[in-house]
């Protein structure tokens, strides 16, 4: 006889849960391939077998006296979260009835060696009238393999235990309790689930044995007849038997022993640093931030870190939109492992570097983002992410943590890609605009200087010279390309960096104009003169050692952004990404839905702290502000609310919005700032770049022409360098082809070739024409570059003696 199905199939359309995480956890051991998140006092997503693979929506308790009330844990109880063992991701949550009549104390861990969530619970009753009357029901909503659709579940008895099994495709989940559940039921959300059952009369009337192919929920009644303490387990596997076996094995070990092992594992991650004198909270957030970042690494695809174990505005999203935060972003990951390197970790950054080397394409490009397995997801190109692995490789080598890994293939390929495809990036670091970005250019320049260091170690003088020449050329044009002379945002400060000078990467004609260009902002931000849109992206020029902290354009740009996008918050200063930003919580407190208002980002407070350190000031006030931005569980958000309080929307000035939380980038920024302060120098600073551009103010006598970036003019006295992606012959003329000469390109050793045309003696008003023969075909047209002096003051950085 077939088992009857629950009624109400398939249930209401599934949704995700809040992004406002109060905690995230996993065992430190790689054999435990399970992660979990916490918010509103309950467990939300449980991930298996990878850090990017959620399988549940939430797990909470329903508490009833059977007669007068039924409390939903996340909505009706108040919650206090604690870390009983500092330096580990062990959580204790105390959920208390509003009337103080009872409370539920939970300790939550992952099994130290198996994919099992363990939650040890104790019910304490303060109101004697409730003794013997309370009933507890554990309610679990599966979202197996990232969706609430087409999940199936059934009650089963295995190994003498009463479990509930759930399954979708090749993932199986086993849900049980010690002691075993008294009663169980599975149903469809919104129709026959346990919440619907209890809320009408506070009684469990249904014991439905099966629900197939829908949005389902599982419920088990906790047996309190043997005492007030019990352990809930949620286990995973690839067959019902494997999931069940994991659960039985895990529950067979007393929870105190599991807890002890879990904590001991996390203590191994402690690098032993004493940050108390560098923080205002005794080092609490620093220890926690290390754990949070380490927990975002996958345990099968080791070396890959997702951006966040949260889904921004998840409560408004259906299964078709989980956002990009469960993906690997090279920029975010490099920031994460760089901060861990600053803390003394060595193996983790090396694993990340090796993973990036395996994801990198042969032409040197890195994907905009990818799965933890390395498959590209979105297809944008962000040149800062191409450069970031070079910076990481340089820092790992500086820390003497490279071991037997040779990063040259990764470094040389990335450098070649930057030379051939820059300086215009298809996407800036905010993934919204193409053009000349000061932060992207800082990464490129720093990356090329670091690559030259590697080339020197290999005694490859040609490659080192080409790399440094290219970095010098970019540095000499920074202000020309990314600073306006007609700024209108702050009286008396017309010259300052702008967020980005727009340019189409598909249009190779190089004609950047920071004064005249117009920009269409993403997320409904509107159409504006580019010179009027400002952000703090230029601070990377100081952070990486490309410009001095007291450079006049830097100083004036600081005044402008402080006037336009700085907000004073109860915790301290905050900054928005740029003016007219549309990515963030709406003014009425509702969720971002493609348009909104960009709010303050804690990472920008951290970036300002790094600048202040570079300028010789104490960044401790910015460290303190970041610590105050953390929520009760120590999670740092992506964005904080920077308008007046909106209690109805749970928006409080300086508190988290519905954006991602925790954001690895935020925690990494905090870690880096604390350790930079401890060492008295910005950890991210590229010392050879600092010596070259800040101390020695090296300029450039080279102008670089590529098929992707075709110069229309060069200043008198400059040498025109043509760079190609294959060996080529250059035919060139300075008299309108009355006569012509030929040059063969030279191999750089990087995967590109170059030829220097002797244009330095040409007078102003003349021009040089050339044609390119690549292999067996000529490029589609002849090219011409005028000898014409630039009006930009950036030319003053050129140093002929260099």
DSSP assignment of 501-534 equals EE--TT--B----TTT-EEEETTTTEEEEGGG--
Mean predicted confidence (pLDDT) in 626-642: 97
Q: Residues 788-796: contacts with CB within 8 Å, 24+ apart?
A: 788/713, 788/714, 788/715, 788/764, 789/715, 789/716, 789/764, 790/480, 790/713, 790/715, 792/477, 792/479, 792/480, 793/479, 794/476, 794/477, 794/478, 794/479, 794/480, 794/483, 795/476, 795/480, 795/715
Residue 153, pLDDT > 90, answer yes
Contact present, 63 and 104 (Cβ < 8 Å): yes
Whether the CB-CB separation of 553 and 479 falls below 8 Å is answered with yes
- CA dist 404 and 406 (Å) reads 6
Question: What is the CA angle 410-416-421, rounded to 5?
Answer: 125
Q: Are 512 and 531 in contact (CB under 8 A)?
A: no
Cα distances (Å, whole numbers) of residue 365 to 383, 430, 439 = 8, 18, 18
Contact 703, 714 (CB under 8 A): yes
- Render pLDDT for 314-338 as a digit per residue (tens, 0 to 9): 888 777 665 568 899 999 999 999 9
Asked whether the beta carbons of 438 and 541 are under 8 A apart, the reply is yes
Give the H or E element holding residue 71: strand 70-72
- The residue written with tokens 């939550």 in the block is 108
pLDDT bucket at 798, cuts 50 / 70 / 90: very low
How much is the pLDDT for 191?
96
Integer Rg of the chain from CA: 29
Mean pLDDT over 612-632 rounds to: 97
Confidence of residue 792 (pLDDT cuts 50, 70, 90): low
Peptide bond into 662 cis (omega under 30): yes
Residues 451, 415 contacting (CB under 8 angstroms): yes
Instruction: Write the CB contacts of 791 (distance below 8 Å, at least 6 apart in sequence).
Output: none
- Asked if 638 and 660 touch (Cβ cutoff 8 Å), the reply is yes
SS3 768: strand
CA separation for the pair 627, 278 (Å, rounded): 12
What is the per-residue DSSP string for 172-227?
Answer: EEEEEEESPPS-EEEEETTTTSHHHHHHHHSS------EEEEESEEEEEE---TT-
pLDDT band at 717 (very low <50, low <70, confident <90, very high): very high
**Cα separation of 109 and 43, whole Å?**
11
3 state SS of 59: strand
Structure tokens at 71: 């409390």
The pLDDT value given to residue 1: 43
Given a cut of 50, whether residue 797 has pLDDT beyond it is no
Beta bridge partners of 576: 600
Give the separation between CA 782 and CA 349, rounded to whole angstroms: 47
DSSP state of 695: I
pLDDT of residue 796: 41
Please say if the pLDDT value at position 756 is more than 60: yes
Q: Mean pLDDT across the stretch 155-166? A: 91
Q: Quick check: 143 and 127 in contact, CB under 8 A?
A: no
- pLDDT(89) > 60: yes
Q: Please, which pLDDT band fits residue 2 given cuts at 50, 70 and 90? A: low
Positive or negative torsion for Cα 548, 605, 297, 216: negative
% of the chain exceeding 90 in pLDDT: 90
**What is the mean predicted confidence (pLDDT) over 273-279?**
72
- What pLDDT does 337 receive? 98
* Chain centroid to CA 802: 39
Closest by alpha carbon to 249, among 165, 142, 176? 176
Cβ atoms of 526 and 533 within 8 Å: the answer is: no
Q: Which residues contact 679 (CB under 8 A, 6 or more apart)?
A: none
pLDDT for res 160: 82
Give the mean pLDDT of 53-61. Answer: 96
The pTM assigned to this predicted structure is 0.95
Q: Sign (positive/negative) of CA torsion 665, 670, 675, 677? A: positive
Strands, E, within 632-760: which ranges? 702-706, 713-714, 719-724, 728-733, 741-744, 746-747, 753-757
Of 226 and 383, which is predicted with more confidence?
383
Asked if the model's pLDDT at residue 793 lies above 70, the reply is: no
Name the burial class of residue 770, with classes exposed (0-12), middle (13-18) and buried (19+) by CB atoms within 10 angstroms of its CB: buried
In order of 9, 156, 357, 404, 413, the CA distances from 361 in angstroms are: 46, 48, 9, 22, 9
Q: In 408-475, where do the E strands start and end? A: 435-436
| Averaged confidence pLDDT in the chain | 94
Cα-based distances in Å from 439 to 495, 498, 537, 710: 17, 11, 5, 22
d(CA 509, CA 766): 19
Greatest CA separation found in the chain? 106
pLDDT digits (tens, 9 = 90+) for 662-699: 999 999 999 999 999 999 999 999 999 999 999 999 99
Q: Please report the DSSP string for 591-654 in residue order.
A: PPSS-----B-HHHHHHHHHHHHHTT---HHHHHHHHHHS-TT-PPPS-B--SS-BGGGTB-TT
Q: Are strands 702-706 and 719-724 parallel, antiparallel or unpaired?
A: parallel
Number of separate helices (H) and strands (E) present in the chain: 18, 35
In sequence order, what are the residues at sequence separation of 6 or more whose Cβ sits closer than 8 angstroms to the Cβ of residue 688? 449, 450, 452, 453
Measured in residues, the chain has a length of 802
For residue range 203-249, what is the model confidence (pLDDT) as tens digits?
999 999 999 999 999 999 999 998 999 999 999 999 999 999 999 99
22/35 Cα distance (integer angstroms): 14
pLDDT tens sequence across 491-550: 999 999 999 999 999 999 988 999 999 999 999 999 999 999 999 999 999 999 999 999
In the predicted structure, residue 452 carries a pLDDT above the cut 60:
yes
Where residue 17 falls among pLDDT bands split at 50, 70, 90? confident
Tokens of 704: 């670089």
Other CB atoms closer than 10 Å to residue 492's CB: what's the count? 7
What percent of the chain has pLDDT above 70? 97
Q: Which helix (H) or strand (E) holds 292?
A: helix 284-295
Question: Taking the C-alpha atoms of 628, 633, 637 and 641 in order, what is their torsion angle to the nearest 10 degrees?
Answer: -60
Give the per-residue pLDDT at 275. 65
Distance CA 176, CA 136 (A): 14
Which pLDDT score, from 0 to 100, does residue 801 have? 32
Assign residue 495 a region (left: φ > 0; alpha: ψ between -120 and 50; beta: otherwise).
beta
Distance CA 129, CA 483 (A): 72
**Euclidean distance between CA atoms 284 and 620, whole angstroms:** 15
Of 655, 278, 684, 648, the C-alpha closest to 447 is: 684
Q: pLDDT confidence of 724, banded at 50, 70, 90? A: very high
Whether 139 and 222 have beta carbons less than 8 Å apart is answered as no
């Amino acid at each position: 006889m077939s088992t009857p199905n629950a009624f109400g199939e398939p249930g209401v359309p599934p949704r995700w849960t809040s992004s406002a995480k109060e905690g995230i956890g996993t065992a430190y051991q790689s054999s435990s391939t399970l992660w979990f998140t916490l918010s509103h006092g309950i467990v939300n997503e449980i991930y298996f077998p990878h850090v990017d693979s959620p399988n549940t929506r939430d797990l909470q308790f329903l508490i009833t006296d059977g007669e007068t009330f039924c409390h939903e844990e996340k909505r009706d109880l108040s919650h206090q979260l604690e870390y009983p063992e500092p330096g580990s991701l062990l959580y204790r949550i105390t959920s208390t009835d509003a009337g103080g009549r009872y409370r539920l104390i939970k300790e939550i861990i992952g099994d130290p060696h198996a994919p099992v969530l363990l939650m040890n619970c104790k019910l304490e009753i303060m109101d004697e009238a409730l003794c013997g009357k309370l009933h507890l029901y554990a309610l679990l909503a599966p979202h197996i393999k990232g969706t609430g659709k087409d999940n199936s579940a059934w009650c089963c008895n295995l190994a003498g235990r009463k479990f509930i099994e759930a399954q979708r495709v090749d993932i199986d989940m086993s849900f049980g309790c010690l002691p075993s559940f008294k009663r169980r039921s599975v149903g469809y959300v919104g129709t026959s689930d346990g919440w619907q059952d209890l809320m009408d009369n506070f009684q469990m009337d249904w014991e439905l044995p099966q629900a197939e192919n829908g949005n389902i929920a599982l419920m088990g009644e906790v047996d309190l007849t043997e005492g007030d303490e019990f352990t809930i387990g949620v286990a995973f596997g690839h067959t019902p038997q494997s999931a069940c076996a994991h659960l039985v094995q895990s529950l067979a070990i007393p929870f105190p022993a599991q807890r002890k092992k879990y904590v001991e594992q996390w203590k191994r991650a402690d690098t032993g640093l004493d940050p108390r004198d560098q923080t205002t909270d005794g080092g609490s957030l620093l220890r926690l931030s290390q754990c949070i970042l380490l927990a975002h690494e996958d345990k099968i695809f080791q070396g890959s870190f997702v951006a966040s174990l949260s889904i921004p505005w998840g409560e408004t999203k259906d299964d078709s939109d989980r956002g990009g935060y469960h993906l690997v972003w090279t920029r975010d990951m490099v920031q994460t492992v760089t901060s861990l390197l600053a803390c003394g970790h060595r193996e983790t950054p090396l694993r990340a570097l090796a993973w990036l080397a395996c994801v990198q394409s042969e032409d040197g490009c890195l994907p905009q983002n990818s799965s933890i397995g390395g498959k590209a997801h979105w297809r944008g190109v962000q040149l800062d992410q191409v450069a970031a692995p070079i910076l990481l490789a340089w820092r790992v080598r500086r820390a003497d943590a490279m071991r037997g890994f040779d990063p040259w293939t990764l470094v040389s390929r990335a450098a070649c890609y930057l030379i051939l495809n820059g300086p215009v990036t298809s996407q800036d670091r905010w993934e919204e605009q193409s053009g000349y970005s000061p932060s992207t250019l800082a990464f490129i320049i720093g990356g090329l200087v670091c690559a030259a260091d590697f080339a020197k170690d290999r005694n490859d003088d040609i490659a080192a010279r080409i790399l440094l020449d290219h970095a010098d050329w970019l540095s000499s044009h920074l202000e020309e390309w990314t600073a306006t002379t007609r700024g209108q945002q702050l009286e008396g400060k017309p010259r300052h960096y702008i967020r980005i000078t727009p340019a189409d990467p598909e249009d190779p004609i190089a004609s950047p104009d920071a004064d005249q260009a117009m920009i269409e902002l993403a997320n409904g931000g509107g159409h504006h003169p580019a010179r009027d849109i400002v952000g703090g992206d230029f601070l990377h020029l100081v952070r990486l050692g490309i410009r001095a902290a007291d450079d006049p354009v830097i100083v004036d740009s600081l005044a402008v952004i402080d006037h336009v996008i700085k907000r004073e918050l109860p915790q301290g200063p905050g900054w928005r990404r740029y003016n007219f930003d549309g990515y963030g919580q709406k003014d009425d407190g509702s969720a971002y839905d493609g348009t909104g208002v960009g709010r303050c980002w804690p990472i920008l407070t951290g970036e300002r702290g790094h600048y202040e350190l570079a300028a010789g000031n104490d960044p401790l006030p910015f460290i303190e502000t970041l610590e105050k931005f953390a929520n009760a569980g120590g999670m740092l958000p992506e964005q904080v609310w920077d308008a007046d309080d909106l209690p109805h929307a749970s928006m409080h000035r300086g508190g988290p919005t519905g954006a991602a939380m925790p954001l690895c980038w935020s925690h990494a920024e905090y870690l880096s700032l604390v350790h930079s302060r401890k060492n008295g120098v910005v950890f991210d600073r590229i010392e050879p770049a600092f010596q070259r551009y800040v101390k020695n103010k090296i300029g450039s006598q080279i102008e670089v022409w590529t098929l992707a970036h075709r110069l229309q003019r060069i200043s008198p006295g400059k040498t025109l360098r043509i760079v190609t992606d294959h060996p080529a012959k250059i035919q060139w003329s300075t008299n309108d082809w009355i006569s012509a000469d030929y040059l063969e390109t030279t191999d750089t050793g990087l995967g590109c070739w170059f030829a220097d045309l002797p244009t330095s003696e040409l007078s102003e008003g003349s021009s040089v024409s050339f044609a390119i023969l690549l292999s067996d075909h000529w490029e589609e047209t002849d090219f011409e570059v005028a000898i014409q002096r630039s009006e930009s003051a950036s030319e003053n950085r050129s140093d002929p003696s260099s």
